[in-house]
């Protein structure tokens, strides 16, 4: 039975404040602004920095045992786990039936995506991933069976999936809130290089010290490097590998490491160039647009969503993916070229304002939800 107030259910896979988490907050904010009288519930798999951020927007944020698909889980999947998954799918179906619209953020929320196949109410799946080719077939099948409206965060993400002609979708590129103003430039002699983000198997963090080690000795003395980030869960081996690589490459005196921060802009303001050397295609690349918002040039791998963000030779440099030599050459090309850095930083800030400021994202995401669900939410 339909409630007196429109009811909207949000389901998310994380609890931190990384890229997809902050985009999720923007989606919730957009709905609250458009339908302030709505009954809104948000489901998260665990407690973390994301929950208090959401509680400043909505009252009902619940921690529930969601069936989140992780590689580690696949390795130890059992018959008992399958029974538990079926139970969670049925629970998710009951939950979704109590809401006019369900918005599922990311592909790995297995119970709710599979439950979407069993309900008739409007449902939205927001895809932020570019999976491997084998996983793409699985996820494409899930999207088709769900009969949900699909939002992709870039054209690169959309191109990875197979959808039938009758299934509706939209490409809505992410946005972020940029700084109100840039701080005054502080003169410095060395080129400040920044890597910021989660340390994992595909962000390419170990390529940075390897690239620095390949610079000529006189050029190496003209750079400073910051590595800012943390690992997911207990995956400390990714951080340990980075620390070991820095030592092995003999660049420890050039590299500083900082923990993850919910306010990254002080690091962007320190930097001259932001490095995004992802070894696998980025579905989007929020670090790149944050760097542009801060007026910084970007060196990024030439694949995935990064190709839709960085204009080569205008707002930064696109390099061959997985090439330490290409990263080193790009870094070397910026040393001492302050005019180029300033020009690319200015162009990046202009492109950010025109394409990637969070107001653009919120406007588009609200329109998608309204066009799909206005009869239920009216």
Percent of residues in the chain assigned helix, strand, coil, to nearest 5: 45, 20, 35
Q: Indicate if 350 and 260 belong to the same structural domain.
A: yes
Question: Does 182 reside within a domain?
Answer: no
Q: Mean pLDDT, to the nearest integer, of 236-244?
A: 96
Say yes or no to pLDDT of 74 above 60: no
Q: What angle do CA 89, 22, 378 make, to 5 degrees?
A: 65
370 plus 348 within the same structural domain: no
| pLDDT value for 358 | 95
Q: pLDDT at residue 26 above 80?
A: yes
**Percentage above 70 pLDDT, the chain:** 95
- The whole domain housing 21 covers 7-175+357-377
Does 74 lie in the same domain as 162? yes
Average pLDDT rounded to a whole number, residues 239-255? 97
Residue 247 has pLDDT above 90, yes or no: yes
Let me know if residue 185 belongs to a domain: no
Indicate whether 186 belongs to any domain.
no
Indicate whether 220 and 317 sit together in one domain.
Answer: yes
* Nearest-angstrom CA–CA distance, 101 and 374: 10
Both 347 and 241 in one domain: the answer is: yes
- The whole-angstrom separation of Cα 272 and Cα 232 is 27
The answer to the question of residue 40 being in a domain is: yes
| Residue 49 shares a structural domain with residue 128 | yes
Indicate whether 309 and 361 sit together in one domain. no
Give residue-wise pLDDT tens across range 282-336.
999 999 999 999 999 999 999 999 999 999 999 999 999 999 999 999 999 999 9
CB within 8 Å of 173: residues ≥ 6 apart: 153, 154, 284, 305, 308, 355, 356, 361
Flag whether 89 is in a domain: yes
Domain assignment of residue 336, yes or no: yes
pLDDT score, position 1: 42
- Between CA 81 and CA 91, with CA 86 as vertex, the angle to 5 degrees is 120
pLDDT, tens only, 115-141: 999 999 999 999 999 988 888 999 999
277 plus 217 within the same structural domain: yes
The CATH number for 344's domain is 3.40.50.2000
| Alpha helices (H) in 15-78, listed in sequence order | 19-34, 50-55, 71-75
Per the domain annotation, does 181 fall within a domain?
A: no
Q: How confident is the model at residue 18 (pLDDT cuts 50, 70, 90)?
A: confident
Quick one: pLDDT at residue 81?
62
Please determine, for residue 372, whether its predicted confidence score (pLDDT) is greater than 90. no
Mean pLDDT across the stretch 177-185? 91
Q: Are residues 111 and 13 in the same domain?
A: yes
Q: Are residues 133 and 11 in the same domain?
A: yes
- Read off the pLDDT band of 71 (50, 70, 90): low
pLDDT of residue 212: 98
At 326-365, the pLDDT tens digits run 999 999 999 999 999 999 999 999 999 999 999 999 999 9
234: confidence class by pLDDT, cuts 50, 70, 90? confident
- Domains of the chain: total: 2
Burial 195-205 (b: 16+ CB within 10 A, else e): bbbbbbeebbb
Does residue 3 have a pLDDT over 50?
no
Residues 92 and 151 in one domain: yes
Asked if the model's pLDDT at residue 78 lies above 80, the reply is no
Chain Cα centroid distance, residue 359? 17
Residue 299 belongs to a domain: yes
Mean pLDDT of all residues in 73-99: 78
> For residue 278, is pLDDT > 80?
yes
Mean pLDDT of the chain: 93
Instruction: Verify that 298 and 364 share a domain, yes or no.
Output: no
């Amino acid at each position: 039975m339909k409630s007196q107030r429109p009811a909207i259910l949000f389901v998310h896979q994380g609890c931190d404040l990384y890229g997809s988490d902050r985009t999720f907050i923007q989606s919730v904010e957009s709905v609250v602004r458009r339908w302030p009288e709505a009954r809104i519930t948000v489901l998260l798999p665990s407690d973390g920095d994301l929950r208090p951020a959401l509680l400043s927007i909505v009252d009902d944020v619940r921690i529930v045992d969601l069936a989140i698909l992780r590689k580690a889980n696949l390795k130890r999947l059992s018959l008992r786990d399958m029974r538990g998954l079926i139970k969670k799918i049925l629970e998710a179906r009951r939950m979704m039936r109590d809401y006019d619209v369900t918005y599922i953020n990311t592909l790995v929320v297995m119970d709710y995506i599979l439950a979407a196949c069993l309900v008739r109410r409007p449902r939205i799946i927001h895809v932020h991933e570019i999976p491997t080719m084998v996983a793409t077939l699985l996820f494409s099948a899930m999207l088709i069976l769900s009969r949900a409206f699909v939002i992709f965060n870039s054209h690169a993400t959309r191109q990875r999936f197979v959808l039938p002609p009758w299934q509706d979708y939209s490409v809505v590129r992410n946005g972020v809130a940029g700084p109100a103003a840039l701080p005054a430039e502080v003169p410095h002699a060395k080129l400040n290089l920044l890597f910021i983000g989660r340390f994992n198997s595909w962000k390419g963090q170990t390529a940075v010290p390897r690239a620095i080690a390949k610079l000529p000795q006189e050029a190496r003395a003209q750079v400073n490097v910051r590595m800012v980030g943390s690992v997911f869960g207990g995956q400390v081996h990714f951080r340990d590998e980075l620390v070991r690589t820095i030592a092995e490459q003999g660049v420890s005196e050039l590299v500083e490491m900082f923990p993850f921060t919910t306010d990254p802009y002080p690091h962007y303001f320190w930097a001259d160039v932001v490095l995004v050397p992802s070894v696998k295609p980025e579905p989007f690349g929020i670090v790149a647009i944050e760097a542009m918002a801060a007026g910084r040039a970007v060196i990024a791998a030439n694949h995935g969503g990064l190709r839709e963000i960085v204009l080569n030779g205008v707002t930064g440099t696109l390099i061959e993916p997985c090439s330490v030599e290409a990263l080193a050459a790009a870094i070397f090309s910026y040393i001492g070229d302050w005019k180029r850095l300033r020009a690319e930083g200015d162009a990046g800030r202009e492109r950010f304002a025109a394409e990637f400021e969070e107001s653009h994202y919120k406007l588009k995401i609200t329109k998608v939800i309204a066009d799909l669900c206005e009869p239920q939410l009216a």
